[in-house]
Structure 1
Amino acid sequence: MSSPLSDDHLDELLEQLPVLAGRARTLEDLSGGLTNRNVKITTADGTYVARCVDTTRNLLEIDRDCEHANSVAAHRAGVGAPVLDYRPDLGVLLLGYLEGKTLCNSDFGRPGVLAKAARAVRALHEGPRFVNQFDMFERQPAYLATCARHGFPIPAEYHAHADAFAEARRALAGGDSPLVPCNNDLLAGNFIEDGDHIHLIDYEYSGNNDPCFELGNIWSECGLSLEQLDELVTAYCGRPRPQMTARAHLQGIVAKYGWTLWGCIQSGSSALDFDFWDWAMERFEAAVAEFRSPAYHRLLDQVAADDGRG
């Protein structure tokens, strides 16, 4: 397993960044990072966030150059943090610190939050193109191969649902959604609320993608109800779009099944004190419940019948 970054090593890395070199600084670990160490850095000149990663292995296939380029694009779109330095040789991406409230799942029940989140997501999707693509139907088999290659356990019944996953792919292939810049990992902690504005952070898994994957992944990761998903899609589109809500729902199921393997890889390789297996099983069991529901094939039919006007 990879070892966590020590404080002494971190300080050595930060000293090599011009904006921080020779400056007195205080460090504070930020919660939420499951593939890197996120540190708030306060100096007399400003406040920053360093995203620090282990450069010796990359089992999750994260392209740090793409993360950097897409973070710059997200800032240009008006939703991401400013990018101040990038040192791939050190495994450090330095960002400006964003003031505001880091959301949790329950915050999406507050009046107005879903609408603000939808505006932020729309701004990202209408912003500068990202430099790469993201497709869970390509990422999932790659993760599966990584688990097999390294002997990482996966849920015992995982392969039993491969046909249901393939059916989702066929249904979604029938749409004509243009690919847009997507974060692809908008769990609640990646929304920073500052008054009427919401920032979106963490572009490790970013890439141009179906916007419905983004919306469905928010439903999945933030514990939204289907009614809240419909509210999110309505706010995103400016009018009710039941067919788009259905597509987002199906993409959210796809996300649950695919990210299950992310958790399995982390369970087998990460040194962090976090129960990645439980995290993976939570998503797997939720996906299986959807696959086994009588409503699943109705959802597939609804998505496959989408003519783009719903």
Structure 2
Amino acid sequence: MSEQVTFDNSISLDHIGRIYQMIGNIPFFAEKKARINSIEVLPGGLTNSNYKVTVNNVAYAVRIAGPGTEEYLNRPAEKHAATLMAELNINAPVIWYDEKTGCQVCLYIHGKTLHIPDMQEEKYIKKAAQVFKKYHQSGKEFISRFDLLKETYSYKNLLIQKNFAFYDGAELFEQKIEEVREALEKNPPKLAPCHNDPLCENWLDDEKNFYLIDWEYCGMNDPMFDLAALCLEAELNEEQEKLLLTEYFGGELTEKQFGSLIINKFLCDALWSYWAVLQIATGKPHEEYWPYGLNRFNRAYALINDGSLDRALAAYNK
């Protein structure tokens, strides 16, 4: 099985061994008398290690889940969502999934992985809006709930328990999170199946389909969160944001719809800023995660400082 195998020298022997063990133990490959031809590193991913593994001359995407991720990620829920989305031809076909660890094997999609400049193009903004619309309105039910505020408070409380400091300005930040919570409790959004982490590198274009992969943070949520997260990840300007929303809603935007986008942008950055600091508190590199979280914290804080969040809450509460 190891004859003439090529692999990147940067891959650890531990991960090469785990990939061999994984492929060797999966019935799908055992039935085919699987032989690994090559192993390549796939870029991206803050928490997991991803590889393109060619088996019997067919390419697969193999994920080795990051240690400890099972503590805060619902792996059975991801398997359920990833399978449902594959049926809609939105996610890559799932070959095997380990519900305990989150390790998985999917069919590799031969296409273009998007990056920020790509997603800022009009054609991809429109394509993303249609993919969002397709699964948000699919009538599918995910088995998990992605409760933004609950997740945020959970990360915050874990930091308190670990006696780990957050960024300067946390008091006003937390006050505004409370104001958002009150607004959403008074007027709760209708929930839909959501991806919740649609960064540009999770979008793939093979010129036949437009895929959204990596459903780790899936769950029933306010669908506007997916749109807000993409606006942030793709660094869309206001004109591009309005194009995304117009394509998604199919008409003129209301103040409340745009206000909901601003609220969800604030919540998205708040969530991932707490998440980033929690990664450091659990042993991840400070130099990698602190600046990432600080950037998101500062961007959310800017919505407080320039009055955007207050205006959005006023529009939402009308």
- TM exceeding 0.5: yes
| CA positional deviation for 1:156 | 2.8
Q: Which residue does 1:259 correspond to in 2? A: 272
Q: Deviations over 1:63-84 (max 9, x none)?
A: 1111111101111222111111
* Residues 216 and 251, structure 1, Cα contact 8 Å, conserved in 2: yes
How many residues are matched? Answer: 302
Q: Which residue does 2:26 correspond to in 1? A: 17
TM-score (norm 2): 0.87
Aligned identity (percent) is: 26
Q: CA RMSD in A?
A: 2.3
Larger CA Rg, structure 1 vs 2: 2
Q: Which residue does 1:301 correspond to in 2? A: 314
Q: Which residue does 2:296 correspond to in 1? A: 283
Q: Deviations over 1:32-76 (max 9, x none)?
A: 111111111112252111121145x24761011111111011112
| CA positional deviation for 1:270 | 5.1
| CA positional deviation for 1:6 | 3.1
* Separation (CA, whole Å) in 2 of partners of 1:69 and 1:253: 28
Gaps of 5+ in 1: 306-310
* Residues 264 and 277, structure 1, Cα contact 8 Å, conserved in 2: yes
* Separation (CA, whole Å) in 2 of partners of 1:52 and 1:126: 32
Query: Which consecutive aligned stretches of 4+ in structure 1 deviate over 4 angstroms post-superposition?
Result: 270-274
User: Which segment is superposed worse, 109-118 or 81-90?
Assistant: 81-90
| CA positional deviation for 1:172 | 3.1
Gaps of 5+ in 2: 1-11
Which one has more relative contact order, counting CA pairs under 8 Å at least 6 apart?
A: 1
CA gap of 1:178–1:52, structure 2 versus 1, over 3 A, is same
* Residues 49 and 97, structure 1, Cα contact 8 Å, conserved in 2: yes
Which of 18, 34, 52 is matched with 1:40 structurally? 52
| CA positional deviation for 1:205 | 0.5
Which of 87, 98, 101 is matched with 1:76 structurally? 87
Q: Which residue does 1:308 correspond to in 2? A: none
Q: Which residue does 1:119 correspond to in 2? A: 130
CA gap of 1:26–1:281, structure 2 versus 1, over 3 A, is same
* Separation (CA, whole Å) in 2 of partners of 1:109 and 1:271: 31
* Separation (CA, whole Å) in 1 of partners of 2:238 and 2:177: 20
**SS of 1:241 mapped into structure 2:** coil
User: Which segment is superposed worse, 89-98 or 36-45?
Assistant: 89-98
Query: Is 1:154–2:166 an aligned residue pair?
Result: yes
Q: Which residue does 1:230 correspond to in 2? A: 242
* Residues 259 and 311, structure 2, Cα contact 8 Å, conserved in 1: no
* Separation (CA, whole Å) in 1 of partners of 2:234 and 2:152: 21
